[in-house]
Amino acid sequence: MSRKKIKSVIARNPDELGELLGLSKADTALMKYKAELSAIAIRAIRESELSVNELVKRSGVARSKVSAVKNGATVMVSCDLLIKIIAATGTRIQLRAT
């Protein structure tokens, strides 16, 4: 049985990662946007000190999704749900185009 040698590649920033993955510029921008929203949501939940149940009531987002975000597991949570959760904490975000 032969073993193939795996070449390691390191991406130094999100743009390089998008290029390595073969993503379009639009998909790379979406990846960066979601990463930022995820970080904001996790921080907003922590700083709000609201319970998961209270966030569910305020946001209308399923408990499983709110719990996932609280625990940093945001891969399966859409950007619109992240925004609802952030808003439910009382945090205000300001979007900027770059």
Query: pLDDT in tens for each of the 98 residues of the chain?
Result: 667 788 888 999 989 999 999 999 999 999 999 999 999 999 999 999 999 999 999 999 999 999 999 999 999 999 999 999 999 999 988 877 66
pTM: 0.81
Question: What's the token pair of residue 94?
Answer: 């300001």
Length of the chain equals 98
Helices (H), the chain: 14-21, 25-48, 52-59, 63-70, 79-88
- Confirm if 3 and 47 have CB atoms less than 8 A apart: no
